[in-house]
Amino acid sequence: MSIATVFEIVLAAVVLILGIWTIAVRETYSATVGFIAYGLLVALIWVRLDAVDVALTEAAISGGLGGVLLLGAAARLQDAELTATEAPSKVTRVSAALLSSLTAAALASAVLFLPDSPPTLAPTVAGHAWATSLANPVTNVLMAFRAMDTMLEKVVLLLAIIGVWSLAPDDAWGGRPGLRHQADPNDILVFLARLLPPVGIVAGIYIFWTGANHPGGAFQGGAILASMWLLTVMAGLTDTPPVSRRWLRFVLIAGPGLFLIVGLGGLWFGAAFLAYPPALAKPLILGIEVAMILTIAATLGLLLTGAPERSEGQ
């Protein structure tokens, strides 16, 4: 049993204890903080599983942006905690524990009895890398071999934004999401919001651009860009745009729209929907990814600021 295996077993044990604490702790705020720490440690597990792209996505989107979302909600709901006092009955708890244990046991036995010669698509992906001349196999799968999934995922993001915006009250319809943050010019948060975004924007664009040949990609880069924008909003340096602005809506549909146009181009001029001619594959994919990163950054940021709460004039 090598040192690496011991480290991985210890890591799994620590994350397990953290998960149990997150479920069992009494205050909601502590559970939120525990979940953020859990998300970051699970990103470490993903690195040990040799899936660095997924580790980046988990840390940035699930741990980082998801954590901010839950923290904001926990802070705003702190006074409402007193009204939620109905603990579930003993019968519910016992049957829920039974159901959870059965599910966990079934999945664990499935893991233990996986076939010895595992089926894999890695040789197929490696064999078809000539079609796109990109070196990162995950980007190949995301943008070329299963591009339909990625395009539909962008549409799902769009549907989520429409769902969130539809929750606006009547007098704030089409207005600005979230409350206005005040900024004292000598504040430390304002200092951070002036210093960090240039670095963060470069880091986000770098992670997006290097995703062609190394771990990275549009989702991870877009999450970093979204968080830089949110930092300036939280420090009060900028205000959220009114959701009725046409340019904002254009940015939101640019990603899936360009994807769809390229796909239809493949249908009319090429072999099939979303087929790229091998000579043009790399510029087409990078072009789609540029539109994608803008849409992803705008969508993730707007999902975090929530439903419109102020009317346009404010």
Report 128-187 residues binding another protein (CB under 8 A). 137-138, 140-142, 145-146, 149-150, 153, 156-157, 160, 163-164, 167, 169-172
| Residue numbers 274-313 binding another protein by CB under 8 A | 296, 299-300, 303-304, 306-307
Please, which residues have CB within 8 angstroms of residue 279's CB and are 6 or more apart in sequence?
none
Specify the residue, 110 or 272, whose C-beta has the smaller distance to another protein.
110
Distance CA 199, CA 209 (A): 15
- Of the listed pieces 30-38, 255-263, 274-282, 283-291, which binds another protein according to CB under 8 A? 30-38
Out of 12, 264, 271, 280, point to the residue binding another protein (CB under 8 A).
Answer: 12
Q: Coil, helix or strand for 26?
A: coil
**Which C-beta is closer to another protein: that of 99 or that of 267?**
99
What's the chain's Rg over C-alpha atoms? 23
Residue 128 CA to residue 146 CA, distance in Å, equals 13
Cα–Cα distances in Å, from 21 out to 17, 66, 92, 157, 237? 6, 19, 20, 31, 37
- The whole-angstrom separation of Cα 259 and Cα 276 is 12
Nearer to another protein, 217 or 256 (CB): 217
SS3 call for 177: strand
Q: What is the DSSP letter of 181?
A: P
Count other C-beta atoms under 10 Å from residue 79's C-beta: 8
Question: Least Å distance between CB 202 and another protein?
Answer: 10
Site string for another protein, 78-117 (x = CB under 8 A): --xx-xxxxxx---xx--xx-xxx-xxxxxx-xxx-x---
The minimum distance between CB 115 and another protein, in angstroms, equals 9
Site for another protein contains 232 (CB under 8 A) = no
Task: Give 95-144 as a DSSP string.
Answer: HHHHHHHHHHHHHHHHHHT--SS---SHHHHHHTGGGT--S-HHHHIIII
Which positions from 46 through 85 interact with another protein, judged by CB under 8 A? 46, 48-51, 53-54, 57-58, 61-62, 65-66, 69-70, 72-74, 76-77, 80-81, 83-85
Contact with another protein (CB under 8 A) among 40, 125, 237, 253: 125
Structure tokens at 276: 């790229």
Q: Which is nearer to another protein, 20 or 261 (CB)?
A: 20
- What stretch of H or E contains 305? helix 281-305
Asked if residues 113 and 98 have their Cβ atoms less than 8 Å apart, the reply is no
- Mask: binding to another protein, 188-217, rule CB under 8 A, as x and -? xx-xx--xx--x-----------------x
**By rule CB under 8 A, what string of x and - marks binding of each residue 242-281 to another protein?**
----------------------------------------
Around Cβ 104, how many Cβ atoms within 10 Å? 10
